[in-house]
């Protein structure tokens, strides 16, 4: 059953999907980690692949940037393709000097000033939560691989460039307890809640709003292997 945004036929997508924002990161994961990957989507260059990892069928697909984009793709995966679990694997900007480039962050919840949930279903909660079961699988996988991670509240922002007269990273950290920022998980968690599915978000720190360190675009595409390996191992426990 294809949709306007996904040409996959019914049965071509696995029950567990890893979802990076960058479709080229999805391509890298498929070609690097999956056996016999088959591309199921090229619509709008939002690449999606299904293959096997250690004998288990897993899919990976890009989400694009921002809540409207992941909102479309995750909703369709859950509702049209019988996907049960989506693990977002993305990049994030640190709000605290305690986080450094390439550190892993597991979202315990996503706070947002966004009206995505309100517009989508009348949900006025400003915090959306991941699946406890999926977070537990990710923590277990990280421990077995000896990959340290920080579990904390994250900020899902609608805005990449803020003007100086509004709250910035210091206020988001102090007022809301957000240790880093990305732009998708609030919508993903909300869609999973509305549809009775499971979702989580594992992030790699790609830059710091405190120290102004940053990774390159190429590093964001293919150097976040710790995050990829943890998510793949967690997917084995959830498939």
* Cα Rg, the chain, nearest whole Å: 17
- Tokens matching residue 99: 């986080």
The Cα–Cα gap between 71 and 21 comes to 12
Which among 82, 123, 158, 207 is annotated as catalytic?
207
8 A C-beta contact, residue 40 and residue 12 = yes
Active site (annotated) includes residue 207 = yes
Please list, residue by residue across 92-120, b when 16 or more beta carbons sit within 10 angstroms of its beta carbon and e when fewer do: bbbbbeebeeebbbbbbbbbbebebbeee
DSSP strands (E only) in 42-176:
48-53, 56-61, 85-94, 104-111, 127-128, 149-156
The Cα–Cα gap between 230 and 221 comes to 16
SS3 of the chain: helix, strand, coil, percent, to 5:
35, 30, 35
- Tokens matching residue 156: 């899902």
User: What sign has the CA pseudo-torsion 19, 24, 30, 33?
Assistant: negative
Tell me the catalytic residues: 207
């Amino acid at each position: 059953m294809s949709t306007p945004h996904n040409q996959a036929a019914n049965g071509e997508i696995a029950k567990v999907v890893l979802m990076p924002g960058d479709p080229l990161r999805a391509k890298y994961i498929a070609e690097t980690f999956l056996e016999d990957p088959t591309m199921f989507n090229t619509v709008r260059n939002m690449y999606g692949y299904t293959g096997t990892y250690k004998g288990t069928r897993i899919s990976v697909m890009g989400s694009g940037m921002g809540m409207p984009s992941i909102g479309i793709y995750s909703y369709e995966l859950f509702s049209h393709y019988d996907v049960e679990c989506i693990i977002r694997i993305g990049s994030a900007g640190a709000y605290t000097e305690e986080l450094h480039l390439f550190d892993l962050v597991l979202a315990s919840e996503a706070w947002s000033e966004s009206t995505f949930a309100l517009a989508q279903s009348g949900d006025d909660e400003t915090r959306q939560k991941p699946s406890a079961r999926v977070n537990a699988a990710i923590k277990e996988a990280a421990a077995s691989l000896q990959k340290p991670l920080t579990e904390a509240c994250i900020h899902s922002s609608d805005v990449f460039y803020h003007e100086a007269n509004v709250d910035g990273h210091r206020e988001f950290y102090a007022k809301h307890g957000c240790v880093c920022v990305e732009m998708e998980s609030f919508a993903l968690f909300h869609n999973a809640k509305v549809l009775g599915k499971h979702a989580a978000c594992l992030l790699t720190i790609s830059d710091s709003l405190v120290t102004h360190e940053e990774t390159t675009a190429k590093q964001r595409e293919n150097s976040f292997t710790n995050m990829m390996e943890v998510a793949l191992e967690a997917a084995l426990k959830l498939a």
